[in-house]
Amino acid sequence: MSRFDRRHFLQLGAAGTALIPFGRNAFAASAPGNKRLVVVLLRGAVDGLNVVVPHAEAAYYEARPTIAIPQPARDGGALDLDGHFGLHPAMAALMPHWRDGTLAFVPASGSPDATRSHFDAQDYMESGTPGQKSTADGWMNRLLTALPVKRTSTTALSFGPTLPRIFAGPSDVATVPLGRAAASPIPLDRPIINAAFDQLYTGEDALSRAYREGLESHKKVMKDLQADMMAADNGAPSPDTFGQDAAHLARLIKQDPSVNLAFFALGGWDTHVNQGGSDGQLAGRLKPLAEGLAGLATGLGKDYQDTAILVMSEFGRTVHENGNRGTDHGHGNVMWVMGGSVAGGKIHGRWPGLESAALYENRDLAVTTDFRSVIASVLAGHMKLTPGQVAGILPGAPTGDIVLVRA
């Protein structure tokens, strides 16, 4: 029995139905526990206006004399999406997903809170409660708690050495090392050492729990990745670490049906100086991002059908470029969602435009879609959570104003 079949078999057991799902939307009706969500947070505020470029607007080009992305037909031009918007040319790797209808963009999305502090804005985006600093946990931990699955040590994976705010909370999350370290054996794999240290960490305190979780997820991850990696890249590290980590995630998901949530944070978007246009600094960050996301989609294979990938950043950047050929902290930004169930090939939400009168505080793109609406739409439509569950995860989020997932 192939792994795919085995999983399907388990799923049938849970759902008590014998329907064999085929075709793109067949999985949308499968049990909620098999739905996966991958969140990528671009820390530092990516310049969304140069990601999804309003190339049909003169105001865009007037505001950005040196860093604008040219119109589609021109040299280094944007890749046209719908005649009004175009994608940054460094992100060409995502275009197949736009064309096959599994990639959707939500421009002018963002936080109802006005802060232009990276730290506050990220905090709000991770707590899911903009304007409220007292929230102790992150929305992905609340989501993890609400998932209708039996949680294992690898139900939620956080890539990178430290647990991010978005995963803070009572449910345990595994941290997966970045790069090749994820598949390396450690001395604790030896039974005699393992047994000795286990005795130190038998309690229910935070350290003991972290120790046990760490060991368990290490064993699972190592087992899943090791053989595969040896064969696949013959020991050569990938030139781009996000691409490598995204490929790890794809392998883990294929090997381990219990992976439901994953989180990545990528830095380096705070382009106050010499941001560049079609080439340059920002382009150099967008290219590996797009290629990593496309690689994740490809690597997931059939599992892409059950996966939603959500990309977000704490706020947008000023419409006008600053005196240093860069952009400062702004307000509205773009979010995007990829995955088999996504109502893609479409620009969602209301576009307020870049005319002076439309700008927020006379300088920034306005927010017309609350970032929580975007997440809520994915939680309801893709993760199949009830309105009550969504409200528990994102209290006060507007609902129903945007539909990002196919019915």
Partner 1 sequence: MSDTALARHLADRLGFGPRPGDLDHIAKTGPDRWIDQQLHPASLALPKEVAAHLAQLRTLRMSPEETFLEYGPPALREAKSPEQRKDIQERARIVPAEAIEARILRAVYSPAQLEESLVDFWFNHFNVFAAKGLDRVWIGAYERDAIRPHVLGRFRDLLGATAKHPAMLFYLDNWQNTAPNAPGARGNFKGLNENYARELMELHTLGVDGGYSQDDVITLARILTGWGLGGDGSRAPQAAAKARPFGKRVAVDRRFPPAEQKAQGRRGGTFVFAENRHDFSDKTLLGHRIAGRGEAEGEQALDLLARHPATAKRISYKLAQYFVADEPPQAVVDAGAATFAKTDGDIAAVLRTLFARPEFRDPSGFNTRFKTPLRYVVSSLRASGATVRNFRPAFGLLQQLGQPLYGCITPDGYKCTEAAWLNPDGMTRRVTYALALAAGRLPLSESPADQPAGPRAGARRNPDGGALRARGNEPPVNVETLIATLGGISEKTRAVVTTAQPELRAALVLGSPDFMRG
**Applying CB under 8 A, which residues contact partner 1?**
43-44, 115-120, 158, 160-163, 168, 172-182, 184, 186-188, 192-193, 196-197, 199-201, 205-208, 210-215, 217-218, 241, 267-268, 270-274, 281, 284, 322-326, 328-329, 361
340 sits in the region (left: phi over 0; alpha: psi -120 to 50; else beta) called alpha
Give which of 115, 100, 51 is closest to 287, Cα–Cα: 51
First to last CA, the chain: 31
Cβ distance to partner 1 smaller for residue 17 or 324: 324
Cβ distance to partner 1 smaller for residue 26 or 207: 207
Instruction: Provide the minimum distance between the beta carbon of 20 and partner 1 in the complex, in angstroms, as a whole number.
Output: 38
100: DSSP letter: T
Instruction: Provide the minimum distance between the beta carbon of 42 and partner 1 in the complex, in angstroms, as a whole number.
Output: 13
Measured between alpha carbons, how far is 392 from 372 in angstroms, rounded to an integer?
A: 12
Cβ distance to partner 1 smaller for residue 321 or 370: 321
71: DSSP letter: P
Measured between alpha carbons, how far is 326 from 275 in angstroms, rounded to an integer?
A: 5
Instruction: Provide the minimum distance between the beta carbon of 242 and partner 1 in the complex, in angstroms, as a whole number.
Output: 10
52-53 vs 86-87, strand pairing mode: antiparallel
Cβ distance to partner 1 smaller for residue 271 or 307: 271
Position 336: which residue type? W
Instruction: Provide the minimum distance between the beta carbon of 252 and partner 1 in the complex, in angstroms, as a whole number.
Output: 14
Cβ distance to partner 1 smaller for residue 138 or 349: 138
333-339 vs 103-110, strand pairing mode: antiparallel
How many degrees, rounded to 5, is the angle at CA 286 between CA 141 and CA 97?
Answer: 75
Position 150: which residue type? K
Measured between alpha carbons, how far is 320 from 227 in angstroms, rounded to an integer?
A: 50
Instruction: Provide the minimum distance between the beta carbon of 40 and partner 1 in the complex, in angstroms, as a whole number.
Output: 16
Cβ distance to partner 1 smaller for residue 224 or 303: 224
Cβ distance to partner 1 smaller for residue 49 or 81: 49
Cβ atoms 282, 85 nearer than 8 A: no
The number of CA neighbours under 13 Å toward the Cβ of 134 is 0
Cβ distance to partner 1 smaller for residue 14 or 178: 178
Measured between alpha carbons, how far is 91 from 25 in angstroms, rounded to an integer?
A: 26
Instruction: Provide the minimum distance between the beta carbon of 241 and partner 1 in the complex, in angstroms, as a whole number.
Output: 5
DSSP 316-380: -B-SS--TTSS--B-S-EEEEEEETTB--SEE-S----SSGGGSBTTTBPPP-EEHHHHHHHHHH
DSSP 121-180: HHHHHHHT-TT-TT--S-HHHHHHHH-SS---TTSEEEESSS--GGG-SSS--EEEPSGG
Cβ distance to partner 1 smaller for residue 237 or 398: 237
Instruction: Provide the minimum distance between the beta carbon of 26 and partner 1 in the complex, in angstroms, as a whole number.
Output: 36
Task: Dump strand ranges (E) for 17-155.
Answer: 36-42, 52-53, 79-80, 86-87, 103-110
Instruction: Provide the minimum distance between the beta carbon of 220 and partner 1 in the complex, in angstroms, as a whole number.
Output: 12
The number of CA neighbours under 13 Å toward the Cβ of 199 is 5
Instruction: Provide the minimum distance between the beta carbon of 206 and partner 1 in the complex, in angstroms, as a whole number.
Output: 6
Cβ distance to partner 1 smaller for residue 81 or 225: 225
Instruction: Provide the minimum distance between the beta carbon of 234 and partner 1 in the complex, in angstroms, as a whole number.
Output: 16
